[in-house]
Structure formats: C-alpha cells, structure tokens
Amino acid sequence: IEERLRHAELAKKVITAQEAAALVKDGMALGLSGFTRSGDAKAVPMALVERSKNEKFKVDVYTGASLGSDIDTIMSDAGIIGKRVPFQSDSAMRGHINKGDMYYIDQHLSITAEYLRQGAMKGVDIAIIEAVAITEDGLLIPTTSVGNSPIFVSTADKVIIELNLASYPALEGMHDIYVPGNQGERGPIPLLNASDRIGTIGIPLDLDKVAGIVITNQEDSESAIVPPDAETDQIASHLLDFLRNEIKEGRLTEELAPMQSGVGSVANAVLHGMLDSEFKDLEVYSEVLQDAVFDLIDAGKVKFASGCSTTLSQEKMDSVYHNLEKYKDKVVLRPQEISNHPELIRRMGLIAINTALELDIYGNVNSTHVSGTKMMNGIGGSGDFTRNSRVAIFVTKSYAKGGKISSVVPFVPHVDHTEHDVDVIVTEQGYADLRGLAPRERSAVIIENCAHPKFKDALNAYVEEASARGGQTPHVLEKAFEFHTNLAKYGQMLAPETEDVK
Ligand code: 0RQ
C-alpha cells in the first residue's frame, strides 16, 4: 500500500467502503469514475446498495460512460437511482429506463464536463474515483479509464478515492490529464497530433476535499463484444474499399488519418479487418480502445492510439495489462472531453466510424432508440465524432433479428445523426458515399448499395410514391413509419402479404 498511497497526509485518510457510503445523502449527485466497463468505482457503489436494504434514498449517478461489475444492474434494481447521466449499456438498467422507473439523460460524452463547469446541470456532491496510485505530490493516478473523473474531482464538494490494489502500477504515466478553462476565457487546446502530451500524469487533488480513501482489490469486468463474423468481415471489406478509393482520389494517403471507432461488436470487427490490409503507420484518436486496437499495435499497423478508456476481453486484458511497458510509448488515455473534443476532431481531420441501429433512405441515423421509443444504450461519443470528423461513416448489418427487421427504413423514428452529418453508410451489401448528393439522389444510392435485397422492393415503392408528391425530401407521411408499425403488429417490418421470401 505504501507504494500506491505515497502522499503522507492522504495516507491517514483510509476508511471502509461502508464509512464512505455513509457520507452519501438522499438527493445527492454522485460522480463515479468508469467508462465502458473500465476503471469504475466498485466498492462504494456496492456498499451504497447494501445500505439501501435498510434505508430509502435516491441519488443521481453521473459517470464517464457505461459501468462494469454489474454496478448499473445492481443500483437500478435496488431503485436508488433518480437520474443517470450520460451513457449506460446495461440490460437491467435499460429495462428500468424504458419502464419509467428512473430518468436517463442521453448526452454527448464531451458535453457533461462543459455543463458541470458552467453549472448548467446539478453539480456533483461526491466524486468517487478509482485510482491505481496517489503520488507524493497529491496526483490521483486513474486506472483503465479517465472519462469524466477530472471534472468530477475538480467540481465536487467531496472526493472519495477507491485505491484498487488489483490494478496495474505500470498504468502510471499512461494518462495525460488536461482540463480546459472556462468557456469564453480559454485559448485553443494545444493538441496537434494524436500522440501529443499536453497535461499531467494524474488528476490534481485538493487535499481538503478528500473525504476518504477506500482500499479495494477487484479487477475490471471484461468487455462483452462478440467476435467478427462473415457479415462484419464483409462490412470491413467494403469500408476498406471506400478508404482505398479515397487514396486513389488523392483525399487520403496510405497512413489514412487518425481513426475513431465506436463501441460494440461491429465497430471492433471493422477495425479488426484492417489487420490483413495494406494500410500501415495508422493512428487512432478514439474514445474506447477495444481489443482490435491492441491487435493492430501488436501487428505493427497502428503506431499510436489515444483514447479515454481501454475495454478488453479477458484474454486481451491478460496480455495487455501484464505487458504495459510494451505499450507505454504507443498509448495515451485522456479525459473524455479531450478525446471527444470537437475542436480537436475537426483539427486532426478524423475518420469516424460508428454503428447505427437503423438509418433511413435519406441518411438520417438512429443509434439509440429501438422502434423510436425504447432506449438501447445511448448516443455516447458518436455525435461528438460524427458531426466534427473529416468523414463520418456509419456501419451496420442491413438487417436484424433474423431478417424480420430492415436496418434501412423509409424514415427513422428517432434521429441521433442527421442527414447533414452522415457521409458514408456501410453494410455487408456495400457502401453508399453520400457526400455531394442531394436527398433524392441519396435514397437511390442507399437502397441500391446498402439495403438487404429482401426489403428493396418495398423501399423503392415507397420512394416512387413519395417522389410523385414532390418535395426536397419526399415522404408519404402517413406511411413513413409503416415498417415500424408493421413490426409492432406482425413482428416483422414487411406486412405478411407483401413479404418477398427471396
Ligand atoms: O441485439 O444481441 O439481442 O440480437 O441490437 O446489435 O448488431 O450486435 O451491434 O453490438 O455493434 O451494437 C448501435 C447498439 C450496435 C451500438 C449499437 C439489435 C441486435 C442486437 C446489438 P441482440 P449488433 P453492436 C462511441 C460510440 C451507440 C453509441 C455509440 C451503440 C443489438 O453500437 O450503442 O455509437 N451505439 N458510441 O439484434 C432493433 C434494429 C436493430 C436492433 C440491431 N434496427 N432494431 N434491434 N439491433 N439493429 C463509444 C461510446 O460512446 C462509449
């Protein structure tokens, strides 16, 4: 413990998880560390749930992104969450959100820090942050994610630290903590390249605010991604064709541009597809670094990766975290407001690759709401990257649920990314480059190149009927959601009598 807790004053503040949980009062907002199942505060939230067995209270829970160790499940099942911000991907919590048991703000991940800095949402009462070490000069060294921890620590009334002995001391030196000043007063963020370091190796602590240090010993949960399959391989291959064409047209070189890749199985598989490609000396400037990024580093394809969290399978955790020295000059972890910052995404000209649940014939993308109403996970950082990147790409299989659902629909019933922000769509059928196309040109290319053959006739019939009515973006409003109303009625998007069983 002395090697991890190196600050003499703070070493006197060790308390139990129960004592820490007892500091929480009904109605407080808690800022928990944690981003895509990595680096989450674990012991104090669990102790809080234990406390709720004898006492009724609710707290608002802010995080970086999704939590591991089933914490979102356990807290939402215990009914102690009033409001959850800004991202979750937990099936139990999803159920509670969709039943209306709790509130959820689905927020761009770069925005939470700005809102807290402005005082535009309820401030954090207690920050609960996992650390791998606390240095002699009072820097909190985060573990496998940085997320929103710096803004939580700087704006909270009190800070509780979970010093996790199961985490890896070699993480020290991997983080780059830079926190912008107030809007209107700050200058440009001095980051020009994915590999630049502009901050400190840890989060500065105000000693008076540290209410206690809880010693823990629990590893992160492994990521839940599914390995690539034949269709995600096809998506990757079409995406590589698109990138090759960009090189041919002189818009990119073989080093491409720094790449962002979203969370989930499809995004991971797409990056995986670059392993066997000719591309080299690549850079990643992303939010989550999944297994594929480390495979690409190991294969010598990626020379540097910047993220705000690492989310790995158990096998990859074992190989990466036990060999961290190997990655020290190739990986950096930053606060999410920096990894996702519009200024930096636009400056570096990122290639952004995110996943859609569904998209419409004009290029509007729904990434979050199943059938327009039920929350899946959240927008996460996909909006931060999509709107500001050099080229905004969306990937998805052209169908879901064994072919009952088409991922290309006449009109998305919820819009996360508008037609103005979406550049390229890739499915296992092919890719549609929408840049420079007007809405009536887009519908033809999207249906032809990306829709599943089973749904093409219905989509083309819709376009024909809509086009006859005219308009910049033609629609038959009374039929625009027919795919979705059919799904609710028949369990499939094509009405049974029109289903084409090709
Ligand atoms: O459900 O497993 O029950 O069958 O959605 O779909 O195809 O496995 O894809 O794991 O990549 O997730 C958009 C949810 C995709 C994710 C989404 C069903 C499908 C399956 C998952 P089952 P896949 P993935 C920055 C980037 C938003 C946040 C983001 C996501 C399940 O990528 O949350 O981009 N993105 N963040 O069957 C109903 C449809 C469907 C559908 C698929 N049209 N209707 N269900 N499914 N299409 C990172 C962060 O911000 C942290």
- 263 C-beta closer than 6 A to ligand 1: yes
Pocket flag, ligand 1, residue 408 (CB < 6 Å) = no
Are the C-beta atoms of residues 405 and 115 closer than 8 Å to each other? no
Tell me, what's the pLDDT at 228? 84
416 lines ligand 1 (CB under 6 A): no
Residue 497 annotated to the active site: no
Terminal-to-terminal C-alpha distance of the chain: 65
> Is residue 198 pLDDT above 70, yes or no?
yes
Q: Which tokens hold the place of 327?
A: 């990655």
Sign of CA dihedral 403, 264, 78, 61: negative
CA nearest neighbour of 150 among 202, 83, 102, 225 = 202
DSSP state of 171: G
- What are the DSSP E strand ranges found in 308-370? 309-310, 331-333, 351-355, 358-360, 365-366, 369-370
Residue 305 Cα to chain centre, angstroms: 16
Q: Helices 230-248 & 265-272, crossing angle to 10 degrees?
A: 60
Helix ranges (DSSP H) in 167-264 = 230-248
- DSSP string across 78-90: TT-EEEEES----
Query: Ligand 1 centroid to 357 CA: how many Å?
Result: 6
DSSP for 126-145, written as a single string: EEEEEEEEE-TT-EEEE-SB
Give 193 Cα–ligand 1 centroid separation in angstroms: 30
* 223, 263, 493, best to mutate for ligand 1 pocket (most atoms within 8 Å of CB): 263
Predicted pLDDT of residue 267: 82
ipTM of the complex: 0.96
Annotated catalytic residue: which of 130, 287, 337, 358?
287
> Measured between alpha carbons, how far is 458 from 406 in angstroms, rounded to an integer?
11
> What is the whole-number distance in angstroms between the Cα of residue 70 and the centre of ligand 1?
19
Calpha distance 1→324 (Å, rounded): 21
User: How confident is the model over 442-466, as pLDDT tens digits?
Assistant: 999 999 999 999 999 999 999 999 9
pLDDT of 263-283, one tens digit each? 877 888 888 889 988 999 999
**DSSP 3-state of 399:** strand
Q: What is the pLDDT of residues 77-129, one digit of tens each?
A: 999 999 999 999 999 999 999 999 999 999 999 999 999 999 999 999 999 99
**137 CB-contact burial (10 Å; exposed 0-12 / middle 13-18 / buried 19+):** exposed
Q: Rounded to an integer, what distance in angstroms lies between the CA atom of residue 177 and that of residue 175?
A: 6
Return the H-helix or E-strand segment holding 23. Answer: none
Quote the ligand 1 centre to 356 CA distance (angstroms).
7
In this predicted structure, the answer to whether residue 502 has a pLDDT above a threshold of 50 is no
The model's pTM is 0.96
Could you tell me what percent of the chain has a pLDDT over 70?
Answer: 99
Which amino acid type is present at position 34?
Answer: G
- Which of 214, 207, 264 has its CA nearest to residue 48? 214
Tokens, residue 417? 């990314």
Q: Judge contact between 94 and 88, C-beta under 8 A.
A: yes
- Span 75-85, pLDDT tens digits: 999 999 999 99
Contact in structure between 324 and 317 (CB atoms under 8 Å): no
